[in-house]
Amino acid sequence: MALNKTEQLNETLQQAIGSYHAGQLTQAIAQLEGDSKRFPKSPKLWGYLGFLYSERGAETKAIRAFRNALRLSPRSEQASLGLFHSLWRAGRMDDAFHEMRRFMKSNDSPRYLELLRDMLSESKRAGLRRKSA
């Protein structure tokens, strides 16, 4: 019996996740890149691809993938956080905070609030270290 489109997508994602866990990052990325043409409207696929690109350090590609995921699913907290972190690592702090504000404007996000608390706490510690130096 042939798999329906959702089952095909789930199988594809599971194979890529398996490759990633087996330490085959390049293979996982190649698989999802190829399958992105078959499933161009899958925010889940674009989110996984963004994560894998980020794991490789390819932040420009990660940003593009996370933006695709958010275009398809604007309320995805995981995709928004992935985009935030990729933008931050790419040195685009203003863009990262713009994404945070965009998401939090219409969504509750305990994870963003936790991130902000951590950043403020780190900022205070850095300020104390400078004063004592």
Q: Please, are residues 97 and 64 in contact by the beta-carbon 8 Å criterion?
A: no
Distances (CA, A) of 78 to 2, 58, 61: 31, 18, 17
Whole-number Å distance between alpha carbons of 62 and 48: 9
Query: Which structural domains are found in the chain, ordered by start?
Result: 5-132 (1.25.40.10)
The tens place of each residue's pLDDT in the chain, 133 residues long, gives: 677 888 999 999 999 999 999 999 999 999 999 999 999 999 999 999 999 999 999 999 999 999 999 999 999 999 999 999 999 999 999 999 999 999 999 988 999 999 989 988 887 777 666 555 5
